[in-house]
Amino acid sequence: MPTEYAWFLPSARAGDGHKINIPVPERLPTIEYLSQVARAAEDAGFVNLLVPTGTHCLDAWVTAAGVAQNSNRIKFCVAFRPGLTSPVFAAQTCNTLDWTTGGRVTVNVVTGSTPTDQMRYGDHLRHDERYERTLEFLDIVKELWKNEKPVTFKGKHYDIRDASFFPEHKSKPFPPVYLGGSSEAGRRVGAKHSDVHMMYAVDLDTIAKDVIDMRERAAEFGREKEIKFGVRMHVMCRDTKEEARRAAEALLEGSDIGNTGAWADMKNNTESAGQTRVNELAQGESLWVTDTLWMGVNTVRAGAGASLVGTPDMIAKALKEYVDAGVECFILSGWPHVEEVERFGRDIMPLLKDTDPVSLDNPEPVLAS
């Protein structure tokens, strides 16, 4: 089964560098620097880039559009929150970027964050209500993508009349949807709409159980063979285990979750079942869950909190264990993002050939023609 390896654009206020989440970023998230990250990921053999969303980040659509002009083939997994825009406008925005880049767009549908961050945007729905809205949102978007005729939809959250627009999407059959959700409400939406069901990295047994559960749920919609599974985590690779551990722990020096208030709120006041699972794993007897899986990042930021730390052989072995558990997509990151992705491409990617890594196609030129 082909395995997709994706990287991450560090477009948050915290920027990038040799430390995580310090008061003054070492490298600011400029389009110039983020384009450097994108080109390094492309050269390393990665096929996709997650562009994050939230009040602590640059706008993901604008950022992806800017970086796309300075890269050649890599795709952009653009994160956005359904409740902040209409499904028709979101589909048109997605199609526009997909059309102008020749089919280099995937989407990460983020149903929500903490109530505090949602209310910064004026969104006051609670957790399960947000997933209810996401279900309607994706019903509409996929109808727009599939139909040549105008779409009309009336539900609890949306009332759409005769919707159609220019341009069409280039990705076929449509831009893939990456969707996370470990709660009951999230799993219901994912079973129907996830092309890639995303999970924060936790222990292998939990991931394997989630894969089985979600396949069974997807089967209710006849999608058990369509749905794929992804894991979001970090990596820290060095020539020896001791060097890797020292480098990982050095990332935290001078870092504090309070340096970015949004992250503190997202971690400590979360409604997310996935974030809760990560937090609980980090509260064990040791931050080292296994010889390779380290939870230190969870102490200084929200979101993905697990890291694979070790030599190229150790990290490749751990990734293959996730593949054996049913994972077909990895969205990885590491600090600094340029140097770590270059190291991954040079030292780890050659060890993953037996996972059948997905490769990049040449995009169809659009505007240049």
Give the residues across from 151 on adjacent strands.
163
Looking at the domain assignment, is residue 15 inside a domain?
yes
Domain that holds residue 49: 4-235+311-355
Looking at the domain assignment, is residue 209 inside a domain?
yes
Looking at the domain assignment, is residue 272 inside a domain?
no
Which one, of 3, 1, 2, lies nearest residue 231 by Cα?
A: 3
Looking at the domain assignment, is residue 69 inside a domain?
yes
User: Three-state DSSP class for 41?
Assistant: helix
What's the farthest any 2 CA atoms get from each other in the chain? 61
pLDDT value for 182: 85
Question: pTM of the predicted model, to two decimals?
Answer: 0.93
pLDDT value for 264: 52
CB 304 within 8 A of CB 297: yes
Looking at the domain assignment, is residue 289 inside a domain?
no
Looking at the domain assignment, is residue 250 inside a domain?
no
Which residue's entry shows tokens 């040449």? 362
Looking at the domain assignment, is residue 365 inside a domain?
no
In the DSSP assignment, the letter for residue 357 is B
Q: How far is CA 189 from the centre of its chain?
A: 17
pLDDT value for 262: 55
Helix (H) or strand (E) run with residue 162 in it: strand 159-163
Give the residues across from 80 on adjacent strands.
109
Cis peptide before 173 (omega within 30 of 0): yes
pLDDT value for 330: 98
Looking at the domain assignment, is residue 256 inside a domain?
no
Domain count, the chain: 1
Note down pLDDT in tens along the chain; length 369 residues. Answer: 899 999 999 999 989 999 998 888 999 999 999 999 999 999 999 999 999 998 889 999 999 999 999 999 999 999 999 989 999 999 999 999 999 999 999 999 999 777 777 878 788 788 899 999 999 999 999 999 998 899 999 999 999 999 999 999 999 999 999 998 888 999 999 999 999 999 988 889 999 999 999 999 999 999 999 999 999 999 999 999 999 999 999 998 887 666 555 555 565 566 667 667 776 776 878 899 999 999 999 888 767 889 999 999 999 999 999 999 999 999 999 999 999 999 999 999 999 999 999 998 766 554 433
Which CATH number does the domain housing residue 135 bear?
3.20.20.30
pLDDT value for 300: 81
What whole-number distance in Å separates Cα of residue 211 and Cα of residue 249?
31
What whole-number distance in Å separates Cα of residue 309 and Cα of residue 247?
9
pLDDT value for 368: 37
CB 279 within 8 A of CB 257: no
